[in-house]
Every structure is written in C-alpha cells, then in structure tokens.
Amino acid sequence: MRLFALLLGLLFSLTGVSATVAQPVQSQPTGVVAFGPQRTERIEAELVPMSQWVAPGSTTVVAVRQKIAPGWHTYWRNPGDSGGATSLIWTLPAGVTADAILWPLPSRQRLMSLMNYGYSGAVLLPVPIHVPPMARPGEVLTLTTDVLFLVCSDQMCVPEPMTLSLALPVREGAAPLAKPWGEEIERLVETAPRPAGIEARVTRQGGQLILTATGGPLIGADIGQVYFYPFDGGRIDHAAAQSGQRGPNGLTLTLTAGKDATLTALSGVLATDKGAWEITAEPGAPLA
C-alpha cells in the first residue's frame, strides 16, 4: 500500500498536478467493532442494512454508505487513469460469507489529461451477505469490515481506513426493508450491471479497438448514449472519446487502445440510456 501511495504521488507530479498523498495505516482486520457512522474531514461512512432482519439460510444485502465532502471523490473498481478502488476486508460470524461489491455505475471525472471513474457526494456500495442455515432465530450477527477508501480532490489524495460494523438480528420469515436506506439499496441491487445474454467481440485496427455487441436487451432497443467502462486499467485510453453506431440488433463502439491493449478478452460494463450490462468481448471477427 505504501508503494501504491508513492506511485500515485509520482503520477500526479508527472501530470503537473500538485498532490499530497498521506501514508495509509493498517488495512488488515482490526478486531474492533465500530457501530454507526465513522467520520474524517473528507468522508463519513457506515455499514447499513437493506432488510430489518435476516432469516436462517437466506441472502441479504448490506451496503457501505459514503457521504463524501464537497470537492472530494472515491473510486470505482477500475479507478481509471489514477486513484484506487475502495477495498473491504470482512470479519464475519462462523458460516457467514460476503460476496464482492455490486458496484453502481461511476461518474466520469476528468482531471487535466486524465479520466477517472468514481463517486462524489453520497453513494451506497451494496454487498450480498449469505447467512448459514444453522443461524438461530433470536441471535444477533455482528458484521465488521475494514474499509480502505482513497479520497481525492484535484490537489491531493488521502487513504482513509475505517472499521465499520453492523448488528443484524436473526428471525424467521421474510424481512421488510429497513429504513432509511433499504429502498435505495434494493434499487441499486436490481439495477446493478450484470450479464444479460449479450454477445460481444473485439478486434484491433491500428490504434483502435472495435467492440461489437449484439443480442439480449440490445435487440430492438432505441439506444441513445452509450459508454464502455473497462474492468481493467490500461486496456483503453480512458480519456479518449468513444464513438458508436447503432444497429437493429446491437451496436459498435470504437475505442482508442491503451498502453496495455493486448488483443485478449475485454471485460467491462456497457452503459446506455436503456440500462447497463456486464459484457466480455472475445477476440474475433466483428458481429453482424
């Protein structure tokens, strides 16, 4: 993590941005239980539930809620040209497991010649939690996660480690949504980008990558705006414009190749004004 901070500081210096990068503290599980919101000058965060309780053998969702100070931002799973994604290290009761974050679509944040992907203001990062069948009604499950946020402005980046905890009661039956965040978490889970039967191919033409996608929800869709967010950095030039053409069964996107644009499978989120879906474009001839 110290190497990451030093490299990030070097990146800002090379791009002409005056930046200060604070050194992170430990990011391993601390054993500390910290309920409710935790705060620094730049960010407030807490672990919040979608449902009022959990049933034995069920899957529920909790979310890392961020309230980011004006002028600051955190990052998506691929931060773009600089930055670092929010990371979680869980300490959970026996038999309880946590999935990866269901990342909401980020905003595009331009900084001089750089393009980053991240979040400003208020954001919820949902995480599915699996409760084992042996959980007993009447007990309380304490979920704890050690979170590392990289919180940046256009002048500096600060690693912000926090320990967040949540107590979830175990009861029989389906639980109603919790207030005040349950409805918003449920909406984010329902709209989170997922695979949707879209077939995709990627080819290279000089300094460009040609991404074609057909099928699934793209068939007959009157798509307007479209943007491709890659899961891995370096595959495309994040700051370059993306141009698209729509057809009756899908679309074609022209992307500028990045420094690591080897012609291998290209995975990411295809975001449109009609929805957003995860795709994996395999190398091969463009689709019709």
CA geometry: angle 250, 255, 156, nearest 5 deg: 125
Q: In whole angstroms, what is the distance from residue 235 CA to residue 107 CA? A: 19
Q: In whole angstroms, what is the distance from residue 178 CA to residue 68 CA? A: 23
Q: In whole angstroms, what is the distance from residue 46 CA to residue 64 CA? A: 6
- The 10 Å CB-count burial string (b at 16+, else e) for 239-255 is beeeebeeeebbbbbeb
All domains of the chain in start order, with CATH: 2-191 (2.60.40.1250), 194-283 (2.60.40)
Check: CB of residue 149 under 8 Å from CB of residue 45.
Answer: yes
Rg (CA), the chain: 21
Cβ-proximal residues to 240 (8 Å cutoff; 6+ apart), any chain: 255, 256
Order of strands, edge to edge, in the sheet holding 59-68?
38-39, 43-49, 59-68, 122-130, 97-98
Count of Cβ atoms closer than 10 Å to residue 261 Cβ: 20
* DSSP structural state of residue 212: E
Q: Which pLDDT value is given to residue 31?
A: 53
Per-residue pLDDT of the chain (288 residues; tens, 9 = 90+): 333 443 344 333 333 333 433 333 333 344 566 788 999 999 999 999 999 999 999 999 999 999 999 999 999 999 999 999 999 999 999 999 999 999 999 999 988 889 999 999 999 999 999 999 999 999 999 999 999 999 999 899 999 999 999 999 999 999 999 999 999 999 999 999 999 999 999 999 989 999 999 999 988 778 888 999 999 999 999 999 999 888 778 899 999 999 887 778 999 999 998 899 999 999 987 775
